[in-house]
Chains A and B, each alone.
Chain A
Amino acid sequence: MKPDLSAKIAGIELRNPVMLASGTARYGEEIAGYCDLNRVGAIIVKGIALRPTPGNPPPRICETPSGMLNAIGLPNIGVEAFISDKLPFLKRFTTRVIVNIFGSTVEEYGEVAKGFHDVEGVDGLEVNISCPNIKEGGIAFGTDIEATRRVVREVRRATTLPVIIKLSPNVTDIVSFAKVCEEEGADGLSVINTFLAMSIDTETWKPRLANITGGLSGPAIRPVAVRMVWQVSKAVRIPIIGMGGIVTVDDAVEFFLAGASAIAVGTANFINPCASIEIIDGLERYLDTKGLNSITELIGALKT
């Protein structure tokens, strides 16, 4: 018998617990040519705001040891255009669609969330709180515990859709942020977003990104991400989507053992657009060789 990969996270039923991370599969159209979207558990689309934004000037990305920096600047087509132009494509697949949202004020988060209320084909929201809070001097919502609380509260009030909060790792104590999200009624947590980082070209003495700083992702961050998933999973009861540097099935298994109920594949999609499918197949084989019937037997099964 094939091991059971099905999962339910934040009220969303998934064929399997492997998702495509926000910003690494855009709105599905391009990656669908390489990766069968009907096989992945969910696609978390690129961040959407109320109104369209163009993104940052180039260079937007550069490679660093076992990782990459990005300062894409959240180019987005806005809620309306997403629903009318991009969602119909995604609805052709049986895969769950989670919409990643962001705003520059607390109110805007609420409005974006309302924009997806009752929209057919949207299974949940993932709230990116790593962008700067324009009203409060550009400090990221996700690194300020009270701002985090207000955003979660606002989004929770605005929608009945499952709400998943995506935590920033750029904090001293991620557990306290996770607890605040749980208190305010979040249905799940995505752990983690990218690390604020910087790289300099020693020939030109210039930053390697036009934005100067950017977010570090890829295998370089994996051990920190695993640690954060483990800490958060011990402190909250809501489910966790683990992410950060997952490339192979073994990487994914680490996250499940640390307490994640699902995982998301990000940067690895750039190395191989079928990475998520290979991880799904690999998980089945892994459970099989370990004599396990279900992925749930792996979740939080860390031996200490």
Chain B
Amino acid sequence: MRAKVVSNSCLKGSCYKLILKAPFDVTVLPGQFLMIRPGGSPGSSDPLLPRPFSIHRINPDGNIEVLYKVVGKGTSLLAQTEEGEEIGILGPLGNGFTIDSGDTSGEILIVAGGIGVAPMLGLAETLKTTCPGKMNRVFLGGRGEADLLCIEELKAVSTEVILATNDGSVGFKGYVTEALEKHLSRSFRIPHSAPRTTLYACGPTPMLQRILEITKPLNIETYFSLEANMACGIGVCMGCAVKKKGGGYYLVCKDGPVFEGRTVTL
């Protein structure tokens, strides 16, 4: 599939927002992703493989938004893509976040580290419409203020947005997981009267590992959007393995990218 670039602009530091005209029917679940071939002609062989990116959201015009951070060759080329160009994409791929729309009570926690916020805006927007009665708290973490994205957009669709930075430039000073722990120690002070809690997270592996430790004793359902090196994105190369609890592997692209925290070993 080829998709037309509507716009591609720098948001902050090395983070960009790409808007694509959707070449497919836009029934997208939050947490699903696209494979995008960055740059050049379809025949160019460096970079060779497409790169996976979460669908940030479907905007009111029905266009696909992707939020990305420049970390290497592919993302640098993507940053040079200009309005009106066409790029190769495949998607929407993967399972997306599990949302229990029947459950109207309880609390939702969204934890995002750095560019891990990418799939979370679409999720928060969907939760706002499917579970309007629920408390929805977002924890945004980064090294410094420059790493925190989409603050205003998230505020518009959540009960509260809690910021955490390692350098203390804005919000809580420390890891986002420490801010989360502080919140949980309050809401779970009397564990049996704590609200039913579902936690969605995306970010660096150490952050997810810490969340697993914190939530384990608390009976919190966790859903993690995971990353892995990918080649095909559709389950044919078997390159994107993640360890399954109890042995064997899942494929992040096909069985995920969203997994229940307790089912994987990170």
Residues of A within 8 A of B (CB): 23-26, 30-31, 33-34, 46, 54-63, 65-68, 70, 72, 75, 218-220, 247-248, 267, 269-273
Contacts and interface: CB of A to CB of B under 8 A. Distances in A.
Chain B binding site: helix, strand, loop or mixed by DSSP? loop
B234 A33 contact: yes
Contact of A58 (B48, B88, B237, B242): B242
Nearest to A61: B239
B234 A60 contact: no
Contacts of B249: 54-55, 58, 75
Contact of B238 (A31, A55, A63, A267): A55
Interface residues of B, number: 30
Given A57-B243, A59-B229, A273-B90, A65 B238 contact: no
B37 A72 contact: no
B243 A247 contact: no
B229 A58 contact: yes
Given A54-B249, A55-B249, A272-B88, A72 B48 contact: no
Nearest to B228: A58
Interface stretch (B39-47, B125-133, B196-204, B215-223): B39-47
Contacts of B162: none
A68 B231 contact: yes
B225 to A, nearest CB: 16
Contacts of A23: 237-238
Contacts of B45: 66, 218-220, 247
Contact of A218 (B48, B232, B241): B48
Contacts of A68: 48-49, 231
Interface string B220-256: 0000000011111011111111110001110000100
Contacts of A46: 238
B50 interface: yes
A139 B232 CA distance: 30
Nearest to A273: B234
B88 A70 contact: no
A63 B42 CA distance: 17
Contact of A24 (B237, B240, B243): B237
A61 B52 CA distance: 14
A247 B49 contact: no
A220 B48 CA distance: 10
Contacts of B254: 30
A83 to B, nearest CB: 20
Most A CB within 10 A of own CB, among B47, B90, B234, B237: B237
Contacts, number: 96
B36 to A, nearest CB: 12
A269 B49 contact: no
Given A59-B229, A61-B229, A66-B45, 13 more contacts: A24-B232, A24-B237, A30-B234, A55-B238, A58-B228, A58-B229, A60-B229, A60-B239, A61-B231, A61-B239, A67-B48, A270-B237, A271-B48
Given A54-B248, A218-B48, A247-B45, A34 B238 contact: no
Contacts of A24: 232, 236-237
Nearest to A74: B238
Contact of A270 (B43, B47, B49, B248): B49
Most A CB within 10 A of own CB, among B46, B232, B249: B232
A63 B239 CA distance: 11
A269 B48 contact: no
B236 A75 contact: no
B46 A66 contact: yes
B206 to A, nearest CB: 14
Given A60-B229, A61-B231, A67-B48, A72 B237 contact: yes
A25 B234 CA distance: 10
Interface in B27-82: 37, 42-43, 45-50
B241 A57 contact: yes
14 contacts: A30-B236, A34-B90, A54-B249, A55-B241, A57-B243, A58-B242, A59-B228, A60-B240, A60-B241, A62-B229, A65-B46, A66-B48, A270-B231, A271-B50
Most A CB within 10 A of own CB, among B43, B46, B48, B230: B48
Contacts of A248: 43
